[in-house]
Amino acid sequence: MQKNKLTLYIFIALILGVIVGYIYNANVINTYNNNVSAAETAIKIIDNKLVLLKDSTSANFKELKSQRITQAKIRKVNDVIREDKVMYFTVLSDIFLRLIKMIVAPLVFTTLVVGVAKVGDIKAVGRIGGKTLLWFLSATLISLLLGMILINLFQPGREMHLMLPDSHLGTEIQKTSLSLRDFISHVFPKSFFESMSNNEILQIVVFALFFGVATAAIGEKGQVVVKAFDAIAHVILKITGYVMKLAPLAVFGAITAIVAKQGVGILSTYAIFIGEFYFSLIILWLVIILAGFFVLKGRAFTLVNNIKDAMLVAFGTSTSEAAYPRVLIEMERFGCSNKIVSFVLPLGYSFNLDGSMMYMTFASLFLAQSYGIHLSIAQQLTMLLTLMLTSKGIAGVPRASLVVIAGTIAMFNIPEAGLALLIGIDPLLDMGRSATNVLGNAMATAVVSKWEGELTDGNPIDIDIEMI
């Protein structure tokens, strides 16, 4: 009953957030929104004029640059005021997300150490890890390919007809690209405590794998560590129960702030692109559930029902990390072995972000279409492989996907300035892909448990599930 109430409260919070956000937008934020919109329009006109001017030393060029700086200041001032006006709503989601982030790193570490130590020898870890990575890589490739096929089928960017900007025009999004040195520094921690403080999940996973294998290797002495970490994990899950009570407030605050700043008009402005992306996510959901059905049979649908609250939390807060503690509990309740859940789920948050994978392909090719840049099938497949590599370890937090996209599209001569098209609607798209990430990781955990013969009919775990 409590669980169903939480679902109801979160859904009510979503609806109320849209209503309150619309009212607040119309009565409080509208003036600042108009100022921001007018400034952005002026900047776009100036940018188009700058592109046509070849002589950057001319008086006309300098005058346009001066006008652009003035309009940029107007946009920034009004944007800051707008942010201040919605601060009372965003603080609700900020508190919740900070509390969740407080929990995630120690929870990932303790549960993964316990999971690896319970698995035992390195061969068993390698076997389970191999099966896990097989599913992850397959799911990643399918998500990317499905995104590529659907974006080529829908072609939502073909009506944009954007002019290619000059090289001096761009966005403020920091780009990221893959180099061997960056990859190594991102995967292997130089300090465990630094990784914990920065919530670097992939680095925590690497250290936990070493720690868990070493704990199992010392035999009986290691059992003391396992019991201690298992107890700590349960304490953290109890804390999660308290934190989750704030989920409806967090969802309300996040949705209200988005609608208040962007207005419901943003839905109609990009309705086709948003609609096609969410339709694509539904297809991806069906593919994930169908793949799970082949292994789990009818229980795949039971799993989806069990994690709906976690998916709603991820949807409302635009981050799959917010749902991690809840999914951890639900997977054990579903009947998955504790050691499998503790091993597979943390890895999934670095290697198996299905919704984000589809979005990256969708967004990158949308920008190419918008600028009329033709990419051959070979180039698109190369982009897919690049995204698959650069995205590993990406944080399950808002805007993380845009950072990877910014670094990847530059390799294919797609203007980075085009990301401005996505910034406004990214929060709306982030909701769907975050919920999809949760579904993909939960299904992967259940499937690996089944493959390992570690899936039962359901475990009445000793955490008060109604609290969580």
Nearest of 96, 463, 100, 397 to residue 247 by alpha carbon: 96
For residue 249, being part of any structural domain is answered with yes
Residue 8 neighbours by CB distance under 10 Å: 11
Distance (Å, whole) CA 229 – CA 394: 26
Q: Domain of 348? A: 87-467
Q: Exposed (0-12), middle (13-18) or buried (19+): which is 377, by Cβ within 10 Å?
A: exposed
Tokens of 128: 């389970």
For residue 39, being part of any structural domain is answered with no
Q: What is the pTM of this model?
A: 0.69
DSSP string, 329-341: HHHHHHTB-HHHH
Distance (Å, whole) CA 123 – CA 405: 37
Name the DSSP class of 244.
H
3-state secondary structure of 448: helix
Residue that is written with structure tokens 């300035």 in the block = 417
**pLDDT tens digits, one per residue of 185-210:** 667 888 888 888 877 777 887 888 88
For residue 20, being part of any structural domain is answered with no
For residue 69, being part of any structural domain is answered with no
Within 13 Å of residue 320, how many CA atoms lie on the same side as its CB? 31
pLDDT at 21: 87
pLDDT at 418: 67
Tokens of 23: 């009212």
Which residues are CB-neighbours of 199 under 8 A, at least 6 positions away?
101, 104, 105, 321, 395
- The answer to whether the beta carbons of residues 370 and 160 sit under 8 Å apart is yes
pLDDT at 396: 46
For residue 38, being part of any structural domain is answered with no
For residue 41, being part of any structural domain is answered with no
- The answer to whether the beta carbons of residues 303 and 446 sit under 8 Å apart is yes
pLDDT at 440: 93
Total domains in the chain come to: 1
For residue 455, being part of any structural domain is answered with yes
For residue 132, being part of any structural domain is answered with yes
Residue 214 neighbours by CB distance under 10 Å: 14
Whichever domain contains 444, its CATH number is 1.10.3860.10
Q: Kindly give the parts of the chain with pLDDT less than 70.
A: 1-4, 6-7, 54, 120-122, 159-183, 185-186, 264-270, 389-400, 402-403, 407, 416-418, 420-421, 423-424, 458-468
